[in-house]
Amino acid sequence: MKSLAPFFALSAPLLASAVVACTQTKIVEQVDPSLADGGTTQDGGSGDGTTRVEGPSGTLFGGKATSFAKTNAEGKVVSVGIVVAIDAFDSAPKSHAFQDDLVLAMPDVAVEQTILHHLRANWLATGHGPDPYGEPHWDLHFLRGTVDEIDAIDCRADKTMPTADKIPAGYGTPELCVTAMGYHSWPKADTNGGAFGASIIMGYWKGNIVFLEPMIAKAKLDKHESFEVPIAKPQSAGGATTLYPTRMRATWDDAASTYTFEFDQLETID
């Protein structure tokens, strides 16, 4: 991937909040996975033989967010996701410091079987660089690791880049690191003049995949329409064998006024 220095130079004001976050990440609300509603199991009710496992709930700008997983008859996870009330998106302030606006654990079964362990939701009221990410949008970081492990990520401490087998087709070597998150790699199609609505950002730490991040423009969510985004899969994620999603579906429920962000089509990765 070509150097992103020109993007950073052109988008310095937009990057300001993200750069500050490297040393000043703040958790607004952290939800303990041991809460009463974390890990209860219910019939999926979809008629497809899956079981829905409810995870913890939290509040994001006045709207409720709840994690969940679905398992098949053998107990294997077939999807992981969150349900978010539209109030969470509609109530986001026009001026806002970069911080963790919500930290939400996924159900235990998702942590045990998949690469998706907990969510950190970030509202970027003025966007950030490089182009075309300079419009208001949401960063939904689904991280691999405990809260303490992710909090310990220090960009100054390790500059190891992922090897080629850990970078999926269409992505470049990451160049921007954010403390308490990791290195970010964007789709080349976006940074080479593409339009931005919803994209999957790849995240790395010590050369391994540490997060999958749906980055979604507020304007897209304001349409109240369902959509899906494919997730490119590298040859390896690093670490123990786990399940890796290859699609994210965003489903709008008009009656409930909620969006469901669901990662499915899981495949094994080492």
The string of pLDDT tens digits covering residues 176-221 is 999 999 999 999 999 999 999 999 999 999 999 999 999 999 999 9
Identify whether the C-beta of residue 266 lies closer than 8 Å to the C-beta of residue 244: yes
pTM of the model: 0.85
- Dist CA 121 CA 134 (whole Å): 18
- Dist CA 56 CA 208 (whole Å): 27
The helix or strand, by DSSP H or E, that contains position 190, with its residue range, turns out to be helix 188-191
Q: Residue 22's pLDDT is what?
A: 36
Cβ partners under 8 Å of residue 235, min gap 6:
165, 166
Domain count, the chain: 1
Q: Residue 74's pLDDT is what?
A: 96
Q: Residue 30's pLDDT is what?
A: 53
Q: Residue 175's pLDDT is what?
A: 82
Identify whether the C-beta of residue 212 lies closer than 8 Å to the C-beta of residue 229: no
- Dist CA 151 CA 169 (whole Å): 29
Q: Residue 8's pLDDT is what?
A: 32
Q: Report the 10 Å Cβ neighbour count for 246.
A: 14
Q: Residue 26's pLDDT is what?
A: 43
Q: Residue 48's pLDDT is what?
A: 75
Cβ partners under 8 Å of residue 242, min gap 6:
113, 114, 115, 144, 268, 269
What's the domain range around 223?
A: 5-269
Residues of the chain under the 50 pLDDT cut: 1-28, 32-38
